[in-house]
Structure 1
Amino acid sequence: MIRIENLLIGETMEGIRYIDAHCHLEDKKFNRDREEVINTCREKNIEIVTSGVGIGGCKRALEIKKRHPDIYLTLGFHPHSVRADEKVIKEVYNIVKNCEKYIVAVGEVGLDIKDENLPRQKEIFERFISISEELDKPLVVHGRGLERECYNIINNRVVSMFHCYSGDEKLAKELIENGHYISISTLICISPHHRDLVKNLDLENILVETDSPYLTPVKGKKNTPLNVIKVIEAIYSIKKEEGYSYKEVVKLIYNNTKRFFNI
């Protein structure tokens, strides 16, 4: 894989900025090194969008946002919590609705093929789409194995980003053609399917993420937003054959992200 230090002759790192479009800094796995990770990201010119889910996750993410105003925030409700009491869902709904000035998007929300009670998942998903519409904020979608179903429910009512996109190429192209976005995660470092997706898609409306502390690209090591550079490197190693320079890849994806979140 191409490394940053192997930039084409004449290219420099000056002006290069990265952005991790989706991670979970509020996750308890970051309790021991959260501040260190944040400070190192600043040194490496990596901006961060962290995504709080559920009552605890949303509240912890809001605390991070208060301490670090330069970190961007999304809030939502994960489909893994489909069995949650109605009171819990309502509380998260109200947290999201009342935090309009702090968030750049609603999510992550959506459907997951590995979770039970799909009708209930869809009902909850609809409710959070309605907040996205009401607040005029983009939507961050979790759609593992049910990407098409998620898109059918959204029905172009709001602009969405399918985080950690693992669906097929046909749907990816349809999403992009209709003004939506897909996010390529650290899975590209280990997954032929994700590399093929990038090979066959234009860079238009593509974002990058780590979903850290999950989806580590290095076995045995915790994932962090710092690894968003590995995602960029993997994309560049594919797209350089089309004539892209490293800096062009970085800039295109950075601008895509800023445009999606309106930041």
Structure 2
Amino acid sequence: MRPIYDAHIHLDVYDNAEQKQIIKDMETYHVEGLITVSRHLLSAKRNLKLAQENKRIYPAFGFHPEQSLTSEQDIENTLYFLMKHQHEMVAVGEVGLPYYLRKQNNTIPIAPYIEILEQFIKIAKRLHKPIVLHAVYEDAPLVCYLLEKHSITKAHFHWFKGDSKTVERLIQNGYFISFTPDVCYKEKIQSLAKRYPISQTMVETDGPWPFEGPFQDHKTHPRMIHQSVEKIAELKHMKLTDLYETIASNTRAFYKL
């Protein structure tokens, strides 16, 4: 194991005992840091507290799109929180569009979510912060358009899924993607890993989201990213130590750690 970062985890969603165990295990598993993303204002406050208690936790603040719309006042309060704690956060996120929510209910309008996303894009640009995105399949081109509209260059599409044309668009724009442990057992994700430039690649768990394959029935833990790195090195025909160094360097540089 070499030093590595979990570029996307919902640390605040774990219970207190699990959080303490993960933080305790970081040294054992050579996890240098956790980029812990937020789902809403309360989530952001929890992640800020976690970061204040441990310098290896790096918070991002945003509004996760796969949930019901909140009030305009709630969004304004969240944006105010971002402004107030801009020097304590490493990025704006997690933000994006509600792909899966709309799959469950196709009557949900997308326009209000686009409006909210654009507000977060604007504040990311204003604060010169990277933005962490939930934008998959058909939603990804629209999100790319919004980023291009506002001249955003530092964008991280976590657990990305999309068509070949959109993949090429992300590559050309210099956007980063990160791979979860499903790269170890899903062929489509492995194909994406082969294609995507290693210079624009990170790794993540998206914990506590559960995984299958060799991770079936195991609580998602940052130690799993080592298996992801090993698989990517195999797919890329790269020396494992070189891949570790590149991915860790990518994460540090992208988030200014």
Indicate whether the TM-score tops 0.5: yes
| Bigger fraction of residues in helix | 2
CA shift for structure 1 position 34: 1.0
In the other structure, the counterpart of 2:22 is 37
Q: Tell me which amino acid in the other structure corresponds to 1:236.
A: A
Q: What is the distance in 1 between the residues matched to 2:22 and 2:195? A: 33
Q: CA RMSD in A?
A: 1.5
Q: What is the distance in 1 between the residues matched to 2:72 and 2:155? A: 25
Q: What is the distance in 1 between the residues matched to 2:250 and 2:186? A: 23
- Deviates further, 121-130 or 202-211: 202-211
Alignment partner of 1:57 is 2:57: no
Q: Tell me which amino acid in the other structure corresponds to 1:175.
A: L
Give 1:255's match in structure 2, choosing from 246, 249, 254: 249
Q: What is the distance in 1 between the residues matched to 2:182 and 2:110? A: 26
Contact 2:159 2:178 survives alignment (8 Å): yes
Q: How many residues align?
A: 245
TM-score (norm 2): 0.90
Q: Tell me which amino acid in the other structure corresponds to 2:28.
A: E
- Deviates further, 247-256 or 214-223: 214-223
Q: Tell me which amino acid in the other structure corresponds to 2:30.
A: N
Secondary structure of 2:94's counterpart equals strand
In the other structure, the counterpart of 2:136 is 144
Contact 2:41 2:62 survives alignment (8 Å): no
Give 1:108's match in structure 2, choosing from 71, 83, 94: 94
Alignment partner of 1:203 is 2:189: no
Q: What is the distance in 1 between the residues matched to 2:209 and 2:41? A: 20
Contact 2:210 2:218 survives alignment (8 Å): no
- Deviates further, 123-132 or 75-84: 75-84
In the other structure, the counterpart of 1:89 is 75
Q: Tell me which amino acid in the other structure corresponds to 2:146.
A: I
Contact 1:30 1:213 survives alignment (8 Å): no
Q: What is the distance in 2 between the residues matched to 1:216 and 1:223? A: 7
Contact 2:92 2:132 survives alignment (8 Å): yes
CA shift for structure 1 position 98: 1.2
Q: What is the distance in 1 between the residues matched to 2:185 and 2:16? A: 27
Secondary structure of 2:177's counterpart equals strand
Give 2:224's match in structure 1, choosing from 223, 227, 231: 227
Q: What is the distance in 1 between the residues matched to 2:68 and 2:114? A: 10
Q: What is the distance in 2 between the residues matched to 1:57 and 1:25? A: 9
CA shift for structure 1 position 82: 4.2
CA shift for structure 1 position 201: 2.5
Contact 1:176 1:182 survives alignment (8 Å): no
Q: What is the distance in 2 between the residues matched to 1:31 and 1:186? A: 23
* Identical positions, percent: 27
In the other structure, the counterpart of 1:78 is 64
Alignment partner of 1:23 is 2:9: yes
TM-score (norm 1): 0.88
Alignment partner of 1:171 is 2:166: yes
Secondary structure of 1:103's counterpart equals coil
Task: Give the gaps of 5 or more residues in structure 2.
Answer: 102-107
In the other structure, the counterpart of 2:125 is 133
